[in-house]
């Protein structure tokens, strides 16, 4: 039934076409016509297969070229990424070392200043003890000593908080 729908002719009509071909060409020419028709079909099939093979070959070459280009771009991108990452790591390490050196230098300066202030406070306290008869001088020296010590500790704490975070 499907064949009938595709060819738009029925089985009886096909038989009629064969009878007409037999009458027109004769019984001796029908096998030669069938051979020629079969050769034509083989050539057509071979040509179709050749075209298909050429298309597949060309497509595989294009795909290989695309894969090579993609691989090259991916390798270049990986090289650039690793170079940038290494440079960033180097810069970060340099900045970290610089900050640690600065922090160390500032801490040393603060320690030296604190030691100097402590020495001055002890000297002021000793002078105040010598001048015990003058209680105002002793109290002022002690208050001044405490204020200086407090200020030095606040500076050091602020610096530590700023650079350790």
101-159 pLDDT, tens digit each? 888 888 888 888 888 787 877 887 777 677 665 555 556 666 766 777 777 777 777 77
- pTM of the predicted protein model: 0.40
Encode pLDDT of 35-62 as tens digits: 998 999 999 999 999 999 999 988 888 8
Cα-to-chain-centroid distance, residue 150: 51
Helices (H), 131-164: 135-164
The confidence score (pLDDT) of residue 4 equals 45
How far apart, in whole angstroms, are the C-alpha atoms of residue 39 and residue 28?
18
**Given phi > 0 = left and psi -120 to 50 = alpha, else beta, which region is 134?**
beta
pLDDT of residue 125: 75
């Amino acid at each position: 039934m499907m064949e009938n729908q595709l060819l738009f002719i029925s089985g009886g009509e096909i038989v009629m076409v064969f009878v007409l071909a037999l009458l027109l060409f004769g019984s001796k020419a029908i096998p030669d016509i069938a051979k020629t028709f079969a050769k034509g079909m083989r050539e057509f099939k071979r040509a179709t297969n050749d075209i298909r093979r050429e298309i597949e070959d060309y497509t595989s070459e294009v795909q290989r070229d695309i894969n090579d280009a993609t691989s090259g771009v991916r390798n270049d991108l990986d090289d650039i990424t690793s170079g940038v990452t290494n440079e960033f790591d180097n810069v970060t390490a340099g900045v970290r070392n610089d900050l640690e050196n600065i922090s160390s230098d500032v801490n040393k300066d603060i320690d030296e200043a604190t030691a100097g202030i402590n020495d001055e406070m002890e000297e002021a306290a000793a002078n105040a003890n010598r001048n015990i008869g003058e209680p105002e001088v002793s109290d002022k020296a002690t208050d001044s000593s405490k204020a200086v010590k407090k200020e030095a500790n606040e500076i050091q704490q602020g610096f530590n908080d700023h650079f350790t975070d």
